[in-house]
Amino acid sequence: MWDAQFEEILRKNLPYLPSGQALQENDDLRDLGLDSMGTVSLMADLEDAYKIRFVDDMMRMENFATPGVLWSGIASLVSA
């Protein structure tokens, strides 16, 4: 599972996720309010927090589909 920093950043960019609702690995981020502008903001926040850069193949919308998919991508960039 992901760390607290990831969840905090993600929650900040999900306007339809109630504050008390648990974030699940397979939640659809678009259903929770992540749109194209939110994706850009989320990507910038994550790059700053984790000192990473999203490379071209990570910047596809399917990589921002669920928290689990997104975290897997970030974890692979951090470990590289």
Q: Give the pLDDT score at 35.
A: 95
Q: Give the pLDDT score at 45.
A: 97
- Tell me whether residue 57 is exposed, middle or buried, using C-beta atoms within 10 angstroms of its C-beta: 0 to 12, 13 to 18, 19 or more: exposed
Q: Is the pLDDT of residue 10 over 90?
A: yes
Secondary structure letter of residue 14 according to DSSP: -
Indicate the CATH number of 4-9+29-79 among 1.10.1200.10, 1.20.1530.20, 1.10.220.150, 1.10.357.10: 1.10.1200.10
Q: Give the pLDDT score at 55.
A: 86
Contacts with 43 (C-beta within 8 Å, 6 or more apart), sequence order: 54, 59, 64
53-72 tens-digit pLDDT: 998 888 899 999 999 999 99
Q: What is the mean pLDDT of residues 33-44?
A: 95
Q: Is the pLDDT of residue 5 over 90?
A: yes
Q: How is the chain split into domains, by residue range?
A: 4-9+29-79
